[in-house]
């Protein structure tokens, strides 16, 4: 168990120390991932930025993801949606989540443009559960032409770890439990991170 996100970030940074000399950037998933990513970026002496994806939820199940979408419209479906994609609920849900992702990206960084060409990208969150929001980012990252992609998270359940590893190749985690209910179970302190805290952390890396 981790004391808090800062400790989790420092432990991950130790596992990533071998890439310190590479041209790397930490892409953190707000909000909690930004706190973890801050510790990694400081330890490696590299830039920290944010990347946004939003879960696509079925009717009446706000915590269950059937997919995820990026601000540019990149979509990942976690199950076979053949025959459902023209369903009006799904069309509306996907468009709403895309708009929300665009809004949050504008709020945190002001632009959808990234320069990741030839860089080592470390994709960070404070914990990964089903993996939908991470997998859609990996799908989007393929179009950004990075040199290497590493997924780093303090805790990932075994099944999700194996799934992401098949896609990404390199996944760094401290805990890979087979029994998993929620990310918060693996932290002593797991307070909600505010938008202002995210902006304050990011401001240290913005020129």
pLDDT tens digits for range 35-47: 999 999 999 999 9
d(CA 72, CA 84): 21
Domain ranges of the chain: 5-52+119-202, 55-107
**Strand 54-56 relative to strand 47-50: parallel, antiparallel, unpaired?**
unpaired
User: Under 8 Å CB-to-CB from 175, ≥6 apart: which residues?
Assistant: 154, 155, 156, 186
Fold of domain 5-52+119-202: Rossmann fold (3.40.50)
User: Under 8 Å CB-to-CB from 161, ≥6 apart: which residues?
Assistant: 171, 173, 176
Q: Tell me the pLDDT tens digit for each residue of 148-204.
A: 999 999 999 999 999 999 999 899 999 999 999 999 999 999 999 999 999 999 999
CA dihedral angle for residue 115, residue 70, residue 106, residue 182, rounded to 10 degrees: -110
d(CA 35, CA 191): 11
d(CA 126, CA 28): 9
């Amino acid at each position: 168990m981790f004391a808090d996100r800062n400790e989790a970030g420092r432990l991950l940074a130790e596992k990533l120390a071998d890439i310190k000399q590479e041209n790397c950037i930490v892409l953190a998933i707000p909000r909690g991932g930004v706190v973890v990513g801050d510790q990694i970026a400081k330890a490696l002496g590299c830039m920290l930025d944010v990347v946004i994806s939003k879960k696509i939820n079925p009717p009446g199940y706000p915590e269950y993801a059937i997919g995820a979408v990026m601000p540019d419209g990149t979509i990942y479906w976690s199950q076979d949606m053949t025959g459902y994609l023209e369903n009006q609920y799904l069309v509306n849900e996907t468009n709403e989540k895309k708009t929300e992702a665009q809004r949050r990206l504008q709020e945190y960084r002001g632009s959808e443009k990234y320069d990741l060409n030839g860089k080592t990208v470390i994709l960070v969150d404070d914990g990964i559960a089903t993996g939908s929001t991470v997998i859609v980012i990996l799908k989007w990252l393929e179009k950004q032409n990075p040199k290497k992609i590493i997924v780093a998270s303090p805790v990932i359940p075994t099944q999700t770890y194996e799934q992401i590893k098949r896609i990404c190749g390199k996944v760094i985690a401290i805990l890979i439990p087979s029994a998993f209910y929620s990310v918060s179970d693996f932290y002593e302190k797991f307070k909600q991170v505010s938008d202002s805290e995210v902006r304050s952390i990011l401001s240290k890396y913005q020129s």
